[in-house]
Structure 1
Amino acid sequence: MTNKLQILSVTALGNLDAYIRIANLWPMLSIEEEKSLTKRLRYNGDLDAAKTLILSHLRFVIHISRNYSGYGLLQADLIQEGNIGLMKAVSRFNPEIGVRLVSFAVHWIKSEIHEYVLRNWRIVKVATTKSQRKLFFNLRKNKKRLGWFNEEEIEIVAQELGVSSEDVREMESRMSAQDITFNPFPEEDLKDGKINGNMLYLQDKTSNFANGLEQDNWDKHTTSKLSNALLRLDERSRNIIHARWLDKKKKNTLQTIAKNYGISAERVRQLEKNAMKKLKIDIEN
């Protein structure tokens, strides 16, 4: 719908006050008018009806967007995202469910604004799971002051939101963190002959390159020693070890191998045991 329908936007007018003034001038719809328009859209695909429905509800998006003014984001951007939610709601609204469009659209408007806030409030995401997102917005709503919560406040908020005190501390820590400038080209940032680029101080704690190389070399070394040790076994012993331990498709039983060689399962077990001893000696030497 958004590709086919041109809707009043903040960027088109270039001024937020002008946008709000024009949006509020658009007449609100009566129940009968709204039902008629939603039916024309749903059953006939009438884009003119969709446009009227959207324009008449822009004031509600503006009202909802004001509740998110404390995140340091432009209200114009919040409105634009809310408008996307409004258009999604209009396209999905069923006039037969017996509720007003605005009641149905609130969820979609807030959902788009929430996503925008979480994407842009911090460079690094503060909330990724559904429960973290819910805690993020509820915690912002329950914060009484700009400083950190004390222990008593943490316990109160945790009880009100139905989460653990550890969850509240973790989210508060994320919310209180500040983004810093990252300079990937430290040679361009010289002060008193010293490099002050942030890149020099970053550490990837999720991996250890040196340990990775060491482990890779050790794996190759042990694999090579095992291969050489297997070559020193007689053919039957080597085949038994391969069938019992090195066949990736299946692990053969003693009985199966015994049947192939025409010997008892106990004899296969003895041969396997002797071969394993020889392999251990060769690998350790």
Structure 2
Amino acid sequence: MTSVDKSAPATAVALANPWALVPPLGNLDAYITAVNRLPLLTPEEEQRYARQLREDDNLEAAGRLVLSHLRLVVSVSRQYLGYGLPHGDLIQEGNVGLMKAVKRFDPNQGVRLVSYALHWIKAEIHEYILKNWRLVKVATTKAQRKLFFNLRSMKQGFKVEDATDDITHRDALTAAQVDVVAHALSVKPEEVREMETRLSGGDVLLDPTPADGDGEHAFGPIAWLSDDRHEPTAMLESAERDRLATDGIAGALKSLDERSRRIVTERWLNVNDDGSGGMTLHELAAEYGVSAERIRQIEVAAMKKMKTALAEYA
């Protein structure tokens, strides 16, 4: 590793070895200060490094492209601090998006890397926020994602407009405001209302944590969940299944001839929980002196006859 003269100007150091300006350890403020000191690339330098990466797989050129745009990630990540997630994590995810953009950047398209990378940086940050903002994912479709990242700011805009009318206490969107949001984001009004409901709620633990040091649990929403085991309809259905599994199967077997009944019993009823224990088609074929295909045909016919008998029994 080449040594760097600490007395040299920051710009000269960056040109010689840009990595020297990014501290390996330290707090977030030190990192942001360091990346803001990294020099920007001229269009000609950007084109040269992009071609070196694309044509020669030059990792040093990729590093210079990434380093010169780290300040862009810091700037974009600040726009998402309102979601309550660590700024360092937002920057880290944005850096992942930046590296993806550098890898896919085509210098022949006639656009600057900053314009191309902006999409990838935001995409990675968006994905991180959606996965970590709540325990339960609140946005999955394209329309829901647009609403998730725009609805709160648009509601704030409505509140500012309404401040002159002294109705800033209102939190829910009016029907007219819902239509405005839906038209602006090209989504349906019902999707706006649904996302507003999702954003207004929060995560609630069904099973609460102990309320004290004695291990006693606090009262939680799980106490309100119903027990379906004693619901009348479920109990009747369970009793009917049990009746068909015992008396019904026994009656259906009696409708078969002796050979068919034994084949069905050996193939389906004398089987252990792990799937072992029943006789194979070839074993039954050897016992009855016929082909395995003939045993299979008898089995299929017997099963159809049993289904008819079970339907009549039910």
Work out whether the TM-score is over 0.5.
yes
- Rate the CA distance shift 1:7–1:229 in 2: closer, same or farther, 3 A: farther
The DSSP-based 3-state class of the residue aligned with 2:39 is coil
- Please report how far the alpha carbon of residue 201 of structure 1 lies from its aligned counterpart in structure 2 after TM superposition: 2.6
The answer to whether 1:224 aligns with 2:282 is no
The answer for the alignment partner of 1:51 in structure 2 is: 63
CA distance in 2, matches of 1:189, 1:11: 44
- Please report how far the alpha carbon of residue 227 of structure 1 lies from its aligned counterpart in structure 2 after TM superposition: 2.0
Of residues 180, 196, 205, the one that matches 1:172 is: 196
Aligned residues: 242
Give deviations 1:137-181, integer Å, cap 9, x for gaps: 132332224922222222221222222221111111111112235
- The residue type equivalent to 2:136 in the other structure is V
Structure 1: unaligned runs, 5 residues or longer: 1-5, 248-275
Residue correspondence of structure 1 range 106-255 to structure 2 within 5 A: 106-144=118-156, 145=159, 147-181=171-205, 183=207, 188-190=210-212, 195-198=217-220, 200-201=222-223, 203=225, 211=234, 214=239, 216-221=241-246, 224-225=249-250, 227-231=252-256, 243=301, 246=304
The answer to whether 1:74 aligns with 2:99 is no
CA distance in 1, matches of 2:39, 2:22: 19
Residues 98 and 121 in structure 2, CA contact (< 8 A), matched pair in contact too: yes
Tell me the TM-score normalized by structure 2. 0.64
CA distance in 2, matches of 1:218, 1:9: 78
- Rate the CA distance shift 1:10–1:75 in 2: closer, same or farther, 3 A: farther
CA distance in 2, matches of 1:139, 1:8: 42
CA distance in 2, matches of 1:203, 1:7: 57
CA distance in 1, matches of 2:310, 2:50: 79
Give deviations 1:5-28, integer Å, cap 9, x for gaps: x97999944322221111111011
The answer for the alignment partner of 2:113 in structure 1 is: 101
Structure 2: unaligned runs, 5 residues or longer: 1-17, 160-169, 261-296
Q: Percent identity?
A: 44
CA distance in 1, matches of 2:250, 2:122: 63
Tell me the TM-score normalized by structure 1. 0.70
The answer for the alignment partner of 1:27 in structure 2 is: 39
The DSSP-based 3-state class of the residue aligned with 1:143 is helix
CA distance in 1, matches of 2:248, 2:126: 53
Q: Which moved more, 1:38-47 or 1:105-114?
A: 38-47
CA distance in 2, matches of 1:220, 1:89: 61
Q: Which moved more, 1:135-144 or 1:10-19?
A: 10-19
CA distance in 1, matches of 2:20, 2:248: 68
CA distance in 2, matches of 1:209, 1:12: 59
RMSD over aligned Cα atoms: 3.9
Residues 158 and 165 in structure 1, CA contact (< 8 A), matched pair in contact too: yes
CA distance in 1, matches of 2:115, 2:184: 26
Of residues 55, 71, 84, the one that matches 2:96 is: 84
CA distance in 1, matches of 2:195, 2:21: 34
- The residue type equivalent to 2:313 in the other structure is I
CA distance in 2, matches of 1:280, 1:23: 75
Residues 143 and 187 in structure 2, CA contact (< 8 A), matched pair in contact too: no
Residues 139 and 148 in structure 2, CA contact (< 8 A), matched pair in contact too: yes
- The residue type equivalent to 1:157 in the other structure is V
- Rate the CA distance shift 1:204–1:78 in 2: closer, same or farther, 3 A: farther
Give deviations 1:230-274, integer Å, cap 9, x for gaps: 2389x9xxx99x649829xxxxxxxxxxxxxxxxxxxxxxxxxxx
CA distance in 2, matches of 1:191, 1:128: 40
CA distance in 2, matches of 1:82, 1:222: 65
The answer for the alignment partner of 2:287 in structure 1 is: none
- The residue type equivalent to 1:25 in the other structure is R
